[in-house]
Structure 1
Amino acid sequence: MIGWLRRATLTAPWVAPAAGIAALLLAALAFVCVAIGITVWRDALDRLAHPPERTADAALVLGNRAYLRGKPNPCLTGRVDAALALASAGRVQRLVFSGGVDSEDGRIEAEVMRAHAVQSGYAGPMLLEPASQSTRENLALSTAVLQAAGVKSVIVVTEPYHLWRAQRLAHAGGFDRLFDVQYAAAPTSCWLRWGMAFKGALREPLAIINNAAHGYLR
């Protein structure tokens, strides 16, 4: 009886159309991901070629995984290094680190970034936003921190592949209407080694699709 049911199901007229629809949906998703990936890649290269031109009150460094194989994640500390370079060049007056508890290792991303800045010799003013769990929350929860410090202009610092989405989230959430915002692409060791293949090739397009589906992007 079970064998007959299995054979009947496999040969039923609705199985082939359903499989065809699933294949078409997967192909459509793949096409959209590739198209988004190309757009993000081009934007990343443009950001790297055109760093911020104006000075700003603060550099806002967006969080990422805190630790990798028992050490501070170079993808995260590389973002801090880019902000330190801005501070060293006199482009920003203070650093703001945004990132909450990392679900993978229990570390607070903002605190890991601050520790790296101190270990790198930075002695300037620093602010922390230690609660956010996403890029959207990085921007939303940092707003009060920035406003309390009297910040009017901000350079958002993150890896190149991340900036396309970060800018659109900033616009959709009104962040860029509260502050004069520029964006700086951080050429971290992760980016230099892997480029879009590290996270941007698959994870970032899927994150963009997810954010758009929830109405977070404009």
Structure 2
Amino acid sequence: MRRPWQAALFGALLAAAIVTGVAYVAIGVLIWRHGEAVLAHAPQRPADAALVLGSRAFLDGKPHPCLTGRVDTAIALAQAGLVKQFVFSGGVDAEDGRTEAFVMQQHAQAAGFAGPMVLESASTSTRLNLSLSRPLLLAAGVRSVVIVSEPYHLWRIERLVRMSGFDQSFDVQYAGAATSCWRALGPLSKGALREPAAIVNNAFRGLLF
């Protein structure tokens, strides 16, 4: 039979696991619903540039569809006359050693986009995507921007934008990229499953609120 302290410890651990699981699911539902709302309300105002945030660059020897789908969304914005240039933000991917910004540029060129493209190739986080892209955007004369990423990512991006003062430098809109990863896996995609943990991490560091 368990000793009283063992039973108490087990109960505390079980309760903590339940609370953590409930919180994780709640955050997942929140960002999922927010992503769907952004998808339902595409940008309406023309902007100077689309800022496309990176993710894993390659999968099975080919450009990752989660990444190229973000670029495709930016191209659709350009075709609709809403943006004229792209800024691709993403550094070296630790999982495959490729530079996300370069992969995005190559995909845009292969898709026929011939407009100006600026590459930010040093960032390794969403926070750095914003902070390292800011001077490049300003140098390019950009004053309004559409930030493009997958829908699950946008709830955190919006708060990082506000907390960092990024929206004091630019008029910011958001575009959800309904990539093949989003359509096929939704909340079960790798990025979406990792996002609640990223939100908690950023919140504890005082980056979101």
TM-score (normalizing by structure 2): 0.97
When structure 1 is superposed on structure 2, of 12-21 and 124-133 the one drifting more is 12-21
Verify: 1:135 aligned to 2:126, yes or no.
yes
When structure 1 is superposed on structure 2, of 22-31 and 123-132 the one drifting more is 22-31
Gaps of 5+ in 2: none
- Tell me the amino acid that sits aligned with residue 72 of structure 1: P
Write the distance in 2 (CA, Å) between the matches of 1:20 and 1:131.
46
Q: How many residues align structurally?
A: 209
- Tell me the amino acid that sits aligned with residue 172 of structure 2: V
CA contact (8 A) 1:111 1:128 kept: yes
- Tell me the amino acid that sits aligned with residue 102 of structure 1: D
Write the distance in 1 (CA, Å) between the matches of 2:191 and 2:123.
21
CA contact (8 A) 1:37 1:200 kept: no
Write the distance in 1 (CA, Å) between the matches of 2:2 and 2:151.
49
Q: Quick one: which of 149, 153, 165 aligns to 2:140?
A: 149
Q: Deviations over 1:113-145 (max 9, x none)?
A: 000000111110000000000111111110011
RMSD across aligned positions (CA): 1.2
1:41: how far off? 1.1
Q: Quick one: which of 185, 189, 194 aligns to 1:194?
A: 185
Write the distance in 2 (CA, Å) between the matches of 1:193 and 1:149.
36
Write the distance in 2 (CA, Å) between the matches of 1:170 and 1:63.
16
1:151 aligned counterpart, secondary structure: coil
Q: Which residue of 2 aligns with 1:158?
A: 149
Gaps of 5+ in 1: 1-9
Q: Which residue of 2 aligns with 1:118?
A: 109
Write the distance in 2 (CA, Å) between the matches of 1:127 and 1:102.
18
Matches within 5 A, 1:31-50: 31-50=22-41
2:48 aligned counterpart, secondary structure: strand
Write the distance in 2 (CA, Å) between the matches of 1:58 and 1:149.
9
CA contact (8 A) 1:33 1:202 kept: no
1:20: how far off? 1.3
Verify: 1:96 aligned to 2:96, yes or no.
no
Q: Quick one: which of 42, 45, 66 aligns to 1:51?
A: 42
Larger Rg: 1
Matches within 5 A, 1:59-70: 59-70=50-61
CA contact (8 A) 2:87 2:117 kept: yes
Q: Quick one: which of 166, 176, 179 aligns to 1:175?
A: 166
| Identical-pair percentage | 59
1:111 aligned counterpart, secondary structure: helix
- Tell me the amino acid that sits aligned with residue 121 of structure 2: P
- Tell me the amino acid that sits aligned with residue 148 of structure 1: A
1:14: how far off? 2.2
CA contact (8 A) 2:153 2:192 kept: no
TM-score (normalizing by structure 1): 0.93
Ranges of 4+ aligned residues in structure 1 off by more than 6 Å? none
